[in-house]
Chains A and B, each alone.
Chain A
Amino acid sequence: MTVTEDPATAEVAPEREVGKARRRKEDARLITGRTTWTDNMVLPGMLHMSVVRSPVAHGKIANIDVSAAQQAPGVVAVLTGRDLAEEQGSIPCAWPVTADMVNPGHPSIAVDEVNHVGEAVAVIIARSRSAAADAIELVDVDYDLLPPVLDMEEAVKHEADLCHDHIDSNTSYHFVFDAGEAGTGGDTEQAFADADVVVSRRFVNQRLIPAFMEPRSVVVQPQGDNFTMWSATQIPHVLRVMLAMVTGVPEHKLRVVAPDVGGGFGGKLQVNPEEVIALLVARRLGKPVKWTETRSESLMAAHHGRDQIQYVDVAATREGDVTGLRVRILADMGAYLRLITPGVPALGAFMFPGIYKFPAYRFECDGVFTNKVPTDAYRGAGRPEATFAIERIMDELAVELGMDPLELRRRNWIQSQEFPFTTVAGLEYDSGDYDTATQQALELLGYDELREEQRRRRESNDPVQLGIGFSTFTEMCGLAPSRVLGSLSYGAGGWESASIRMLPTGKVEVVTGSTPHGQGHETAWSQLVADQLGVPFEDVEVLHGDTAVAPKGMDTYGSRSLVVGGTAVVKAADKVIAKARKVAAHLLEANEDDLDFSNGKFTVRGTPGTALSIQEIALAVFAAHDYPEDVEPSIDADATFDPVNFSFPHGTHVCAMEVDTETGFVKIRKYACVDDVGTIVNPLIVEGQVHGGLAQGIAQALYEEAVYDADGNLTTGSFVDYLVPSAADLPHFDTGNTVHVAPGNPIGAKGVGEAGCIASTPAVVNAALDAVRHLGVQDIRMPLTPERVWRALHHGGDGGDRATAGSNAYGGAQTETTAGVSTPQSSLGGDR
């Protein structure tokens, strides 16, 4: 057969962009320091704001004397809660998880009462940053102290001290999900009554601090009755709506811009009191105002994450079939409800059954007020807590049954042929293969050799013992189907918006409502659009993070960007192609149905040599000299995508851990994981997201904890004591992937942002326990400080609470002597 090649079709199809390890477009400015962090911004006449914060956890404000501060050089104004009470409203809570949830209200600046250390009591507006800082100590506040409420288990007792005296208990809400009542499972009480084996544990999922590297910062510029706010936020769109509702600045008079944002991890998914105050101050003074927090402020006053006490019961047969799961949770709200404070544990409610086929399940959660900074979203938000509980209790059950922990998991997990699978919590898991991921992870780890070494170390009674821990996890991602959010009483939808603008020169502007802060949207979206429209990767520019540029959006959190926002981009591209098809048909004088579109070109079937690229069509509609009668001269398109279901990434994480039984020091020997996040658009970015998540999940297991003392002071108030691990403290990660395409979106992606963080924590703790269980240790409280491990080994229990009175605020020893640093006796400064 003779093939006559048509030059128009003989071109080699360009390599698909999706799946390519494209280096990021974002990097150029970031590696050269040509960045636009909010704190970089300087505006003519700009004033600086500092915040006077409460040093007490709970008290009535008896008096505030601001006169000295007002007189201080450079100070323009000092405002207290009283001054702003009429206009500041309440920080919004978008997630009333139950109809009778109690929200005490959250003033941005305390008016009558303070409820946590670090709460704003006044703001200083000054001509320079240093003048604003200097005047803080000139504000004199008298507090009538009230007893601080700090311990959740005490707080829910009858006649406990109250965090808010205008409400009658410390419980904000009682949220229940019962599979029996919901019709998604059997009777849980019956399942436990009938069980051969019941294992019950109390787990503490400690309070963490998101600790994004860029401190929060906000600049507000008034222009007539318009305001522009630049903020280091994950959520410029949500923030705009909420600020309009809270302050009464009309939404159309407010523009919010998220310039370069240095990480968020949920910590910048907030309507911050300082953002509200900055807007009110700019409105009142008619001048631009900037506020940038210090790290100490950030740790003390930006929202925290996690903080649950979990009572978990699992029922099983003697053979190892799980028959029921019962979870009761106390979830620390902190002093107030912020944007989604109450929703975080509720989001986790559906994930406690994990990947296992429980026939019965009941979940109850009390949201509890304490005199601490509010909790809210932190990487995983509800799902790490759930995953920790289920993956820990599965190990405990395995021990009870005398089974291998992997064998127990295998026996109970959903088999690959059972997808889609509706769980006892009512979720429909989309796709996956837990067994394959597990096999690959074991190979990556070198499992058999390490088990052998573990045996040798046990036999020789080596002071350094070895353990291996698993976490076979899944998570609900792609937040979120709007109707589901509605059924959970969430205040908004979970759709995402995108626009594609075809410029006259054929270049492409993609507008996304999903606002990045390190995830690489500009690169990944360019890859999607390059494939879809058949244009070069370099010809695509992704615009985001400014409500004037990207007017609609739901922003970035919950591993949603690619799954929901990326899909919106793909759908917008499809609409562009559909519009261009009409123009192409007109220009090529062909029937629309006879046109093929591939590699960016329309060709007429059966008419070789005729081709019109979509980039040429862009120019043609710009000129608009010749286009069909019945269409507008534009091929630009918008799309909004609202998923029907969540997506369910899964994976198997395996950790090998060395435990020095003499000192309690734990060290990760090896870490391997295989994640299934569906289609991988950019393997570099996916790997990077997994690495970063692992670091944070491991840090929860080993290093991080927000500790409060008995008076409600945050004793881990700086990076000296809140231990964010460095490169030297973390291991090398061996990562891999399986790919089971997500059926719920055309990309097939499941979401990757939270996977590593959710999965790793229980694997690490299980590994440490596996190393020392034969020595009688049953549990160790997170983080696994050397002291806790040592105490668990030598004194029993879980290592105990390390929040001791007089803990150190800085450096070596006790808080009270830190002032000694400035005594003349200590003379020559500088230890280091």
Chain B
Amino acid sequence: MTQVSMRVDGVGYTDEVEPRTLLVHHLREALGKVGTVVGCDTSNCGACTVHLDGQAVKSCTVFAVQADGAEVTTIEGIGSQGDLHPVQKAFHEMHGLQCGFCTPGMIMASIDLLKENPNPSEAEVREGIEGNLCRCTGYQNIVRAVQQAAGEMAGSSDTLGAQS
């Protein structure tokens, strides 16, 4: 067993883990962060996407020991029902989800994309979320949601800019 410490959604945790423990299993089983899910075993589907030190990664393809000392953000840490992240809000508004299983990963990947490219074209969104599979939506409303969120996030930063 190896000791690992990490902050997850703003809370510090220190645990003993087997080195083979995948980050996603650590999150789900040791920390109860079941909002992040596992959809495949070959790093294709992206359902397990979280942010590791601010960058989107597939938590099924990272060992928990590799995240020792890191800051992890999951779908549970970006917003709450009364205070949704603009991307969460946009997925709801644009009907960017159906069964919702891919949604946590899809939202986390989208946030990462928007950080890098705040105003992506349709094609850029499609490429930006190529690492996340959805079987329900056909992606079109997801793409709309990401673009809508981009607009909203740009709008809110403009407002801030005007104030300062």
- CB of B44 within 8 A of CB of A719, answer yes
Confirm or deny: B57 has a beta carbon within 8 angstroms of a beta carbon on chain A: no
- Whether A263 touches B130, Cβ cut-off 8 Å, given contacts A27-B100, A130-B18, A692-B98, is no
- CB of B127 within 8 A of CB of A728, answer yes
- CB of B76 within 8 A of CB of A213, answer no
Which residues of chain B are near A726, meaning CB under 8 Å?
126, 129-133, 139
Q: How far is the CA of A24 from the CA of B36 in the complex (A)?
A: 21
- CB of A685 within 8 A of CB of B88, answer no
- CB of B135 within 8 A of CB of A696, answer yes
- CB of A27 within 8 A of CB of B97, answer yes
Shortest distance from the beta carbon of B56 to any chain A beta carbon, whole Å: 15
Interface centre among A34, A215, A265, A692 (most CB of B within 10 A): A692
Confirm or deny: B141 has a beta carbon within 8 angstroms of a beta carbon on chain A: yes
Which residues of chain A are near B139, meaning CB under 8 Å?
691, 695, 726-727, 730
Confirm or deny: A687 has a beta carbon within 8 angstroms of a beta carbon on chain B: yes
Q: How far is the CA of A257 from the CA of B74 in the complex (A)?
A: 27
- CB of B92 within 8 A of CB of A23, answer yes
Q: How far is the CA of A688 from the CA of B84 in the complex (A)?
A: 22
Confirm or deny: B93 has a beta carbon within 8 angstroms of a beta carbon on chain A: yes
Q: Which of A281-289, A414-422, A513-521, A561-569 contacts B (4 or more CB under 8 A)?
A: A513-521
Which residues of chain B are near A732, meaning CB under 8 Å?
122, 140
- Whether A33 touches B76, Cβ cut-off 8 Å, given contacts A295-B45, A691-B138, A733-B140, is yes
Confirm or deny: B116 has a beta carbon within 8 angstroms of a beta carbon on chain A: no
Chain B window 56-95, contacts with chain A (Cβ cutoff 8 Å), 1 for yes, 0 for no:
0000000000000000001110011100100010011101
Which residues of chain B are near A730, meaning CB under 8 Å?
126, 138-139
Confirm or deny: A249 has a beta carbon within 8 angstroms of a beta carbon on chain B: no
Which residues of chain B are near A688, meaning CB under 8 Å?
95, 98, 136-138, 141
Which residues of chain A are near B141, meaning CB under 8 Å?
687-688, 691
Q: How far is the CA of A685 from the CA of B136 in the complex (A)?
A: 11
Interface centre among A26, A690, A691, A696 (most CB of B within 10 A): A691
Which residues of chain A are near B125, meaning CB under 8 Å?
727
Q: Quick one: which of A31, A263, A684, A694 contacts B135, CB cutoff 8 A?
A: A263
- Whether A691 touches B99, Cβ cut-off 8 Å, given contacts A27-B91, A32-B35, A33-B35, is no
Which residues of chain A are near B101, meaning CB under 8 Å?
37, 213-214, 262-263
- CB of A32 within 8 A of CB of B88, answer yes
Shortest distance from the beta carbon of A691 to any chain B beta carbon, whole Å: 3
- CB of B136 within 8 A of CB of A692, answer yes
Which residues of chain A are near B118, meaning CB under 8 Å?
none
- CB of A727 within 8 A of CB of B40, answer no
- CB of B81 within 8 A of CB of A28, answer yes
Which residues of chain A are near B100, meaning CB under 8 Å?
26-27, 29-31, 35, 260, 262, 518
Confirm or deny: B8 has a beta carbon within 8 angstroms of a beta carbon on chain A: no
Confirm or deny: A490 has a beta carbon within 8 angstroms of a beta carbon on chain B: no
- CB of B137 within 8 A of CB of A691, answer yes
- CB of B95 within 8 A of CB of A684, answer yes
- Whether A215 touches B38, Cβ cut-off 8 Å, given contacts A23-B93, A32-B76, is yes
Q: How far is the CA of A327 from the CA of B139 in the complex (A)?
A: 36
Q: How far is the CA of A696 from the CA of B33 in the complex (A)?
A: 31
- CB of B136 within 8 A of CB of A263, answer yes
* Chain B residue at minimal CB-CB distance from A298: B40
Chain B window 32-60, contacts with chain A (Cβ cutoff 8 Å), 1 for yes, 0 for no:
01111111111011010000000000000
Q: Quick one: which of B42, B47, B122 contacts A810, CB cutoff 8 A?
A: B42
- CB of B95 within 8 A of CB of A685, answer yes
Confirm or deny: A316 has a beta carbon within 8 angstroms of a beta carbon on chain B: no
Which residues of chain A are near B25, meaning CB under 8 Å?
129
Q: Quick one: which of A27, A296, A719 contacts B133, CB cutoff 8 A?
A: A719
* Chain A residue at minimal CB-CB distance from B105: A213
Shortest distance from the beta carbon of B44 to any chain A beta carbon, whole Å: 4
Shortest distance from the beta carbon of B138 to any chain A beta carbon, whole Å: 3
Which residues of chain B are near A129, meaning CB under 8 Å?
25, 29
Question: Which residues of chain A from 283 to 310 have a CB within 8 Å of any chain B CB?
Answer: 294-296
Shortest distance from the beta carbon of B89 to any chain A beta carbon, whole Å: 8
Which residues of chain A are near B127, meaning CB under 8 Å?
727-728
- CB of B42 within 8 A of CB of A720, answer yes
- CB of A727 within 8 A of CB of B37, answer no
- CB of A692 within 8 A of CB of B45, answer no
- CB of A24 within 8 A of CB of B95, answer yes
- CB of B95 within 8 A of CB of A518, answer no
Which residues of chain B are near A484, meaning CB under 8 Å?
none
* Chain A residue at minimal CB-CB distance from B102: A213
Which residues of chain B are near A733, meaning CB under 8 Å?
138, 140
Q: How far is the CA of A27 from the CA of B141 in the complex (A)?
A: 14
Which residues of chain B are near A214, meaning CB under 8 Å?
37, 39, 99, 101
Which residues of chain B are near A691, meaning CB under 8 Å?
137-141
Shortest distance from the beta carbon of B103 to any chain A beta carbon, whole Å: 5
- CB of B35 within 8 A of CB of A34, answer yes
Confirm or deny: A211 has a beta carbon within 8 angstroms of a beta carbon on chain B: yes
Confirm or deny: A464 has a beta carbon within 8 angstroms of a beta carbon on chain B: no
Confirm or deny: B134 has a beta carbon within 8 angstroms of a beta carbon on chain A: yes
Which residues of chain B are near A718, meaning CB under 8 Å?
40-42, 44
- CB of A37 within 8 A of CB of B92, answer no
- Whether A211 touches B36, Cβ cut-off 8 Å, given contacts A23-B93, A33-B76, is no
Q: How far is the CA of A39 from the CA of B39 in the complex (A)?
A: 11
Q: How far is the CA of A20 from the CA of B11 in the complex (A)?
A: 41
Q: Quick one: which of B36, B74, B104, B135 contacts A724, CB cutoff 8 A?
A: B135
- CB of A40 within 8 A of CB of B34, answer yes
Shortest distance from the beta carbon of B161 to any chain A beta carbon, whole Å: 28
Q: How far is the CA of A520 from the CA of B99 in the complex (A)?
A: 8
Confirm or deny: B107 has a beta carbon within 8 angstroms of a beta carbon on chain A: yes
Confirm or deny: B150 has a beta carbon within 8 angstroms of a beta carbon on chain A: no
Q: How far is the CA of A685 from the CA of B42 in the complex (A)?
A: 31
Confirm or deny: A622 has a beta carbon within 8 angstroms of a beta carbon on chain B: no
* Chain B residue at minimal CB-CB distance from A698: B138
Q: Quick one: which of A518, A693, A720 contacts B99, CB cutoff 8 A?
A: A518
Chain A window 706-741, contacts with chain B (Cβ cutoff 8 Å), 1 for yes, 0 for no:
000000000000111000101110101100000000
Which residues of chain B are near A18, meaning CB under 8 Å?
none
* Chain B residue at minimal CB-CB distance from A689: B98
Q: How far is the CA of A183 from the CA of B126 in the complex (A)?
A: 52
Q: How far is the CA of A211 from the CA of B133 in the complex (A)?
A: 10
Confirm or deny: B20 has a beta carbon within 8 angstroms of a beta carbon on chain A: yes
Chain A window 665-688, contacts with chain B (Cβ cutoff 8 Å), 1 for yes, 0 for no:
000000000000000000011011
Which residues of chain B are near A295, meaning CB under 8 Å?
39-42, 45
Q: How far is the CA of A517 from the CA of B100 in the complex (A)?
A: 9
Confirm or deny: B143 has a beta carbon within 8 angstroms of a beta carbon on chain A: yes
Q: How far is the CA of A294 from the CA of B44 in the complex (A)?
A: 13
Confirm or deny: B23 has a beta carbon within 8 angstroms of a beta carbon on chain A: no
Chain A window 258-276, contacts with chain B (Cβ cutoff 8 Å), 1 for yes, 0 for no:
0011110100000000000
Question: Which residues of chain A from 341 to 364 have a CB within 8 Å of any chain B CB?
Answer: none
- Whether A724 touches B92, Cβ cut-off 8 Å, given contacts A35-B35, A294-B41, A296-B41, is no
Chain A window 805-816, contacts with chain B (Cβ cutoff 8 Å), 1 for yes, 0 for no:
000001000000
Interface centre among B41, B81, B125 (most CB of A within 10 A): B41
16 extra A-B contacts, CB within 8 A, seeds A262-B99, A295-B40, A718-B41: A26-B100, A32-B80, A32-B81, A33-B34, A35-B34, A129-B25, A130-B20, A213-B135, A684-B95, A691-B139, A696-B135, A719-B44, A727-B143, A730-B126, A733-B140, A810-B42
- Could you give 28 example pairs across A and B, Cβ below 8 Å? A27-B91, A28-B81, A30-B100, A31-B107, A32-B84, A33-B34, A40-B34, A129-B29, A130-B18, A213-B45, A213-B47, A213-B101, A214-B101, A295-B39, A688-B141, A690-B138, A691-B139, A694-B138, A695-B135, A695-B138, A719-B42, A719-B133, A724-B45, A726-B126, A726-B130, A726-B132, A727-B143, A728-B129
Binding site for A on B (CB under 8 A): 18, 20, 25, 28-29, 33-42, 44-45, 47, 74-76, 79-81, 84, 88, 91-93, 95, 97-104, 107, 122, 125-127, 129-143
Binding site for B on A (CB under 8 A): 23-24, 26-35, 37, 39-40, 129-130, 211-215, 260-263, 265, 294-296, 517-520, 684-685, 687-688, 690-696, 718-720, 724, 726-728, 730, 732-733, 756, 810
